[in-house]
Amino acid sequence: GQNIDQPTEMTATEGAIVQINCTYQTSGFNGLFWYQQHAGEAPTFLSYNVLDGLEEKGRFSSFLSRSKGYSYLLLKELQMKDSASYLCAVRDSNYQLIWGAGTKLIIKP
């Protein structure tokens, strides 16, 4: 079966750095997405990785290792507005998106 694993919940302090991990086992791989979802709102796209390595976008970076079936989302200089759920999704060999259950990130002052 296909599976995406993420921690259920994480807590971090305002101004700090947090890393949210995602491991996947899918039939084939055609890219990995990270989305942010604030409570009661729609998921919004954060990043896309298809090749190994780090993609940086402002305070957010995403890393991919295809050989390890592993990705992480790195959030720097945390702000209170970063409190949200972070969803990892992998596109499989049929180009279908397989979603993780999301990681709820709580930021404390």
Partner 1 sequence: ETGVTQTPRHLVMGMTNKKSLKCEQHLGHNAMYWYKQSAKKPLELMFVYNFKEQTENNSVPSRFSPECPNSSHLFLHLHTLQPEDSALYLCASSQDTSGSYEQYFGPGTRLTVT
Residue numbers of the site for partner 1 (CB under 8 A)? 4, 8, 30-31, 33, 41-45, 48, 50, 87, 89, 95-102
In the complex, the smallest distance separating the C-beta of residue 78 from partner 1, rounded to whole angstroms, is 23
CA Rg value for the chain:
13
At 82, list the tokens.
Answer: 């970063």
In the complex, the smallest distance separating the C-beta of residue 75 from partner 1, rounded to whole angstroms, is 19
The HSE-up count of residue 78 (CA atoms within 13 Å, CB side) is 23
Cα distance between residue 98 and residue 87, in whole Å: 11
Query: Nearer to partner 1 by C-beta: 11 or 13?
Result: 11
In the complex, the smallest distance separating the C-beta of residue 22 from partner 1, rounded to whole angstroms, is 12
Query: Nearer to partner 1 by C-beta: 69 or 102?
Result: 102
Query: Nearer to partner 1 by C-beta: 78 or 100?
Result: 100
Cα distance between residue 73 and residue 56, in whole Å: 10
Cα distance between residue 13 and residue 27, in whole Å: 37
